[in-house]
């Protein structure tokens, strides 16, 4: 860890994609629509992929109140009756998928995100799980996870969630400091979070994650150090540590944040350096990018064994598989295609009313996209690329095909972030902290236009 100095962090304090996909979602086009997506679903049924389990993501956009830092697709409302109508349309969207895929497709991974999934009542979550089980086969031993706002649940709700089949849970913590919580309009006492995590452990959730954000208003290095100490006491199985990106022109809730209260760049880098040291001191494994896990957690085990994968929810232990996105703005991946649903509730509902899959944009990947995706995902997940495996899979000469990229990679090699030899590319232990910078070298779209303003910081 001593090699990851503040100076090195500052050197790579740049913007870049998270590579939950390649090409990235900003490359999706409206020329790819519902008919293209339906064709991809049918082709899945006809090919070898039909026997492989699916991954499902369900977007539940509603929140009781707005968190000022939030950049998610959400609908702020106190009218909980809106969830019933949303579930009605979700059921119809599922039926549209079943019409293409057939019923009973195996699912080994399910994630409920938002918004606030626990905006739904226990009965409504039960209805959602029942409709999913009617149409899909949720296999034993799968990963079934839900995002939870600690302000919306108690011990009884956690127990109900477990009874519905969820075995993984993620708590949105962000920061324990009361002044920071006030500044971002998300007040939740630390005692409440500690009690919920204890209850989740007692119930037997297989993995408990907490989300943290550094760079929020009124955060200081000292205040964040106290939060880090509390997280150490909490000892979740996994930690996601995100950098706050202040983009008020793009995300209206962020306009309520007082810019003068934001920490400066040096303070943010100091917080990151402190977090890296603190988590290492607590025995966490740096899985990659912004994720940490205890050594015995399946995510850390998968990293050690070279079995990490990535999808639109981030790092995963599940094999690379097709992802069905359900709900407003959801993104999916089927075969060599990506697709995204309508981003507004009105358009999403209207398309379903017309009997259409509510896809409004996406992408059919080219051979070059697929080859580069293989390289980028190998770097992001395994930390290495073997030339021969790429050459055999894509019938190309790696050094010739990626000559320009290998030339650019020489600079990162000189800095000790990668090692390149006759067999392939190996990310060094220090380079793993900057793996997004390594992957960016192979991003043809990024290299051609250099437009990075829409992306988060890479560290």
Whether residue 147 is annotated as binding a ligand: the answer is: yes
Whether residue 69 is annotated as binding a ligand: the answer is: yes
Residue 183 host element (H or E): helix 178-183
Pairing of strands 418-420, 323-326: unpaired
- Distance separating alpha carbons of residues 295 and 302, to the nearest angstrom: 10
Closest CA to 31 of 335, 347, 359: 359
Whether residue 20 is annotated as binding a ligand: the answer is: no
- Distance separating alpha carbons of residues 418 and 438, to the nearest angstrom: 8
Whether residue 67 is annotated as binding a ligand: the answer is: yes
Whether residue 265 is annotated as binding a ligand: the answer is: no
Whether residue 45 is annotated as binding a ligand: the answer is: no
Whether residue 115 is annotated as binding a ligand: the answer is: yes
Whether residue 245 is annotated as binding a ligand: the answer is: yes
Whether residue 331 is annotated as binding a ligand: the answer is: yes
Whether residue 165 is annotated as binding a ligand: the answer is: no
Whether residue 71 is annotated as binding a ligand: the answer is: yes
Helices (H) and strands (E) in the chain, counts: 17, 19
Closest CA to 429 of 264, 303, 249, 315: 303
Whether residue 169 is annotated as binding a ligand: the answer is: no
* C-alpha separations of 436 from 61, 307, 317, 441 in Å: 29, 18, 19, 9
Whether residue 349 is annotated as binding a ligand: the answer is: no
* C-alpha separations of 426 from 218, 379, 385, 423 in Å: 40, 8, 7, 9
- Distance separating alpha carbons of residues 272 and 9, to the nearest angstrom: 9
On whether the CB atoms of residues 327 and 344 are closer than 8 A, the answer is no
Q: Tokens at residue 419, please?
A: 């090692």
- Distance separating alpha carbons of residues 459 and 273, to the nearest angstrom: 10
Closest CA to 412 of 430, 399, 397: 430
Whether residue 186 is annotated as binding a ligand: the answer is: yes
On whether the CB atoms of residues 186 and 157 are closer than 8 A, the answer is no
Whether residue 93 is annotated as binding a ligand: the answer is: no
| Binding-site residue positions for S-adenosyl-L-methionine | 57, 69-71, 114-116, 147, 174, 186, 211, 245, 331
| Binding-site residue positions | 57, 63, 67, 69-71, 114-116, 147, 174, 186, 211, 245, 331
| Binding-site residue positions for [4Fe-4S] cluster | 63, 67, 70
């Amino acid at each position: 860890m001593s090699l990851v100095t503040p100076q090195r962090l500052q050197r790579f304090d740049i913007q870049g994609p998270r590579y939950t996909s390649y090409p990235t979602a900003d490359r999706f086009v409206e020329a790819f629509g519902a008919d293209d997506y339906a064709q991809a679903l049918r082709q899945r049924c006809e090919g070898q992929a039909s026997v492989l389990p699916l991954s499902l993501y369900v977007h539940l956009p509603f929140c009781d109140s707005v968190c000022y830092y939030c950049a998610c697709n959400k609908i702020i409302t106190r009218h909980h009756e809106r969830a019933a109508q949303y579930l009605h349309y979700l059921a119809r969207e599922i039926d549209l998928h079943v019409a293409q895929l057939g019923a009973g497709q195996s699912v080994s991974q399910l994630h409920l995100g938002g918004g606030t999934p626990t905006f739904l009542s226990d009965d409504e979550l039960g209805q959602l799980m029942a409709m999913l089980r009617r149409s899909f086969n949720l296999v034993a031993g799968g990963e079934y996870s839900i995002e939870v706002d600690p302000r919306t649940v108690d011990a009884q709700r956690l127990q109900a969630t477990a009874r519905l089949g969820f075995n993984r849970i993620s708590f949105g913590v962000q920061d324990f400091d009361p002044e920071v919580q006030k500044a971002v309009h998300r007040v939740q006492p630390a005692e409440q979070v500690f009690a919920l995590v204890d209850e989740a452990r007692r119930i037997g959730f297989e993995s408990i994650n907490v989300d943290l954000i550094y760079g929020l208003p009124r955060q200081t290095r000292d205040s964040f150090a106290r939060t880090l100490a509390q997280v150490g006491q909490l000892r979740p199985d996994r930690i996601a540590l995100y950098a706050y990106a202040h983009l008020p022109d793009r995300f209206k809730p962020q306009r309520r944040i007082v810019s003068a209260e934001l920490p400066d760049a040096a303070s943010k880098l100091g917080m990151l350096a402190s977090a890296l040291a603190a988590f290492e001191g607590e025995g966490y494994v740096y899985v990659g990018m912004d994720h940490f896990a205890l050594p015995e957690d399946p995510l850390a085990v998968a990293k050690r064994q070279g079995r990490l994968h990535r999808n639109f929810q981030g790092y995963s232990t599940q094999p690379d598989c097709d992802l069905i996105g359900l709900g407003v703005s959801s993104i999916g991946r089927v075969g060599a295609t990506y697709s995204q649903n309508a981003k507004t509730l009105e358009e999403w509902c209207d398309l379903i009313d017309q009997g259409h899959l509510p896809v409004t944009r996406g992408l059919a990947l080219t051979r070059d996209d697929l080859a580069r995706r293989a390289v980028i995902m190998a770097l992001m997940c395994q930390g290495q690329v073997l030339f021969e495996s790429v050459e055999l899979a894509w019938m190309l000469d790696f050094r010739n095909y990626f000559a320009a990229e290998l030339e650019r990679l020489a600079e990162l090699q000189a800095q000790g972030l990668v090692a390149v030899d006759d067999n392939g590319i190996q990310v060094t232990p220090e380079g793993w902290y900057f793996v997004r910078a390594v992957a960016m070298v192979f991003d043809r779209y990024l290299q051609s236009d250099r437009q990075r303003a829409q992306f988060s910081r890479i560290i």
